[in-house]
Amino acid sequence: MNNKNHKLATKLIHAGISPDPTTGAIMTPIYQTSTYVQAAPGDHKGYEYARTQNPTRTVLQNALAAIENGNHALCFGSGMAATDAVAKLLAPGDEVIVANDLYGGTYRIFTKMFANYGIKFHFIDMADANNIRGYINGNTKMIWTETPTNPLLNIVDIAACAAIAKEHKLLLVVDNTFASPYLQNPLDQGADIVLHSATKYLGGHSDVVHGALIMNDAALEEKLRFIQNSCGAVPGPHDCWLVLRGIKTLHVRMQRHCENGEKIANYLRNHPKVGKVYWCGFADHPNHDVAKKQMRGFGGMMSFTLKDDNMDAAMNVLKKTELFSLAESLGGVESLIGHPASMTHGSIPREERIKNGLVDSLIRLSVGIEDADDLIADLEQAIG
Ligand SMILES: Cc1ncc(COP(=O)(O)O)c(C=O)c1O
């Protein structure tokens, strides 16, 4: 079923899905096959080889396109595989303007892999989109941003970036992993490509690693599909099925992530031992107005520092939480706590991190959907 007029909650359950034609199974089967029989060369049912197409993946791609209000989606074996595919649109000599607060793995693939192929990356503060203008030259091809950013929850004005991208004929890529399509649809704000680590909120249960790209333009989709098929970083059908199952509850999970997030952000802000709390739902967040304009809620991701601003104090909290498990990743139903400086963002040089506000004592929370009182009690006994 694919009805563009359906609201998100309906699309999450039904978009792209129809009962299995052979059995009527309501749930999309896992087509665990590597190839498809042809009646004669070229005479097939739309599927030739599973690196190129798989019916479980097709259904997921159609569902993802629908929930991001896009025309096309492509799935990958991880969020990084999706990032890799987009970067392969570039050629030696090209330049990219990138938000300076972003997932450490994205920083790593740009600086340690693609920089070797002669592509130049400018990491800049995008809190004011106009900063982008100073870095555009004849070689610039792409603007790359996350919003909210990982881990400092900065907000970037997608529509303002899109206007600059359009003016200079650049591609605007928005990593929408933190917000998920429940809170924000970057294509509606003028982005060209939306990227997801579906490992996070889309999958939602910390049981799959998966990535996706969603776009409107057919020519761009064709180029990315060519890269997907040529380079082969495709997800298996079981992983596609897990994401397909995950997205059916995205709206109810996200609603609770937002409610719990607000309670915990306010609790932390009033705690005498807590220093700064980074959460885009605070009215005094520097870009709260932009967040209100482009998002439908503020989510369950946040970071904070301790007034006793040193590594040992932070480590002490990380060791003591019980419901908040110390782990990489985010966006699952269970609450996670992390230390960006040594974990998710360990690949960013220290001076670079500190310059951008990612201090050694920063603690990141992915607030899950447990009872908020229990989560607060856990933080209370850990922070002391
Ligand atoms: C914002 C963001 N983008 C991309 C990725 C990479 O995704 P994956 O781990 O699925 O490769 C991550 C992973 O943490 C992330 O947080």
Per-residue confidence band for 98, with pLDDT thresholds at 50, 70 and 90: very high
Is residue 209 in contact with ligand 1, taking CB distance under 6 Å? yes
Active-site residue flag, 269:
no
Its pTM surpasses 0.75: yes
Q: Which CATH architecture does the domain made up of 250-383 adopt?
A: Alpha-Beta Complex (3.90)
Residue nearest to atom 14 of ligand 1 (CA): 329
Find the mean pLDDT for residues 226-234. Answer: 98
Q: Strand 363-366 vs strand 72-76: parallel, antiparallel, or unpaired?
A: unpaired
- Each domain of the chain, given as residue ranges in start order, spans 8-247, 250-383
- CATH fold of 8-247: Aspartate Aminotransferase; domain 2 (3.40.640)
Per-residue confidence band for 311, with pLDDT thresholds at 50, 70 and 90: confident
Is residue 95 in contact with ligand 1, taking CB distance under 6 Å? no
**Between 352 and 37, the higher pLDDT residue:** 37
Mutational pocket test of ligand 1: of 199, 205, 366, the residue with most ligand atoms within 8 Å of the beta carbon? 199
Residue 94 neighbours by CB under 8 Å, 6+ apart: 119, 120, 139, 140, 141, 142
Q: What percent of the chain has pLDDT over 90?
A: 91
pLDDT at 341: 87
Active-site residue flag, 200:
yes
Q: How high is the mean pLDDT of the chain?
A: 96
Q: Among the options 51, 225, 256, 276, which is catalytic?
A: 51
Query: For residues 35 and 48, is the Cβ–Cβ distance under 8 A?
Result: yes
Q: Among the options 101, 175, 192, 360, which is catalytic?
A: 175
- Please give the Cα distance from 351 to 100 (Å, whole number): 13
At 113-156, the pLDDT tens digits run 999 999 999 999 999 999 999 999 999 999 999 999 989 999 99
CA 80–ligand 1 middle distance (angstroms): 6
Find the mean pLDDT for residues 243-252. Answer: 98
Residue nearest to atom 7 of ligand 1 (CA): 79
Question: 213 pairs with which residues across the strands?
Answer: 74, 195
Find the mean pLDDT for residues 167-180. Answer: 98
* CA distances from residue 242 to 10, 56, 183, 239, 366 in whole angstroms, order as listed: 19, 10, 21, 5, 21
Angular region, 213: left φ>0, alpha ψ -120 to 50, beta rest: beta
